Chain A
């Protein structure tokens, strides 16, 4: 029998020879050597399987595409449900900001609206329902621009709700009481601390940066207001 074709020898690297081929291979060192070379090639190829490589594309590129596809949830929503993630801190910051903001708003808004009174209690429930409804729709963000637009609308609604709620307020403290401003400053300090921690953890996060800057700005404004409310013989040197 003549030498098998090279492609047949390649097949015999992991295939069964016919009787005639087996007889030839047992006596032909050239063909036996060829098959041995093919088996080494197979071994090398198999070892290739376990060879790992650096990623072909970086995460930022994939994440951007995933966001466009809606496969990555809005950061704020993700943080609120990521139970064991370090983003807890930032979620907590958001809660503190909201709660603090409501408390401060309820205390301070009489200044904004004077003696305006609210219409009726059911209206409060309606406003709350609208807020909940707005929160639910956040899940449908499709772009950053849309998210910012919703955020701006929510801020406007928040301010309006606070104005309305202030009319329901039974707190008896008057706006000129410096204690209000001191309480507000303390709250803003706490908010600024928490949001600053969050910003340090994710310096590129625009939402947390915004909350931090807002808190610092509001604190400065409150500090100025407190200075104006102090008796003339008292000078505010710090807080």
Chain B
């Protein structure tokens, strides 16, 4: 299989096959991040296109000192956040959720869990949702998030804990589910 370096070199030269191979190799991961952050599938499609163009445009600057996936992931997050800022000028407005807007297949336990998290995350205010996704899902630090969002690390923490507290309530059906052996030792809620 062709190495990433060779593939990238060909892609920089404008070789469509190389560009397409990069896309097909990394789109599942990159587009998953875009979809999670964007929330809305149509918006995600627009942003994903922009993200990939930006990745292709920036290929010349890729020095290989990080994994390509990591490098591309960072571009995806930056670009998505920028796009969301433009789209959602009123970042503090809580999004309404429409019951029919979740289109994730429910064909397995994991899909159910994923859909539940996705749906619950959509019910968070934009800022809290973004911080939760970046910190708890994508693994960013509060310092990274603060830089990306132009807020303080303390504000990032505050948003995260609000998000977690709300998600814990929304996802009670998942996180309160305990094995029978453990359940026996839990005292009733006061």
**A interface list, Cβ under 8 A from B:** 6-11, 13, 29-30, 33-34, 37-38, 40-42, 44-49, 51-57, 59, 61-63, 65-66, 69-73, 75, 77-78, 81-82, 85, 87
Contacts and interface: CB of A to CB of B under 8 A. Distances in A.
Nearest to B24: A59
B16 A72 contact: yes
A39 B160 CA distance: 14
Contacts, number: 147
B49 A65 contact: yes
A69 B53 contact: yes
B137 A49 contact: yes
Contact of B168 (A38, A53, A78): A38
Contact of B137 (A10, A34, A46, A62): A46
Contact of A37 (B24, B41, B138, B168): B168
B19 A71 contact: yes
Contacts of B174: 40-41, 44
Given A45-B136, A59-B20, A38 B175 contact: yes
Interface SS of chain B: helix
Contacts of B34: 56
A61 B49 contact: yes
A7 B160 CA distance: 9
A45 B132 contact: yes
Contacts of B32: 51-53
Interface string B85-111: 000000000000000000000000010
Interface string B131-167: 0100011110000000000000000011011101101
B64 interface: no
Contacts of B167: 41
Contact of B27 (A47, A55, A77): A55
Given A41-B171, A57-B48, A65-B49, A46 B20 contact: no
B24 A44 contact: no
B17 interface: yes
5 contacts: A7-B161, A7-B162, A42-B164, A71-B53, A82-B15
Contacts of A57: 31, 45-46, 48-49, 52
A91 to B, nearest CB: 13
Given A45-B136, A61-B49, A10 B24 contact: no
Nearest to A69: B53
B132 A66 contact: no
Nearest to A62: B52
A40 B136 CA distance: 12
B4 interface: no
B13 A73 contact: yes
A42 B28 contact: no
Which of B52, B56, B117 has the most chain A CB within a 10 Å cutoff?
A: B52
Nearest to B56: A71
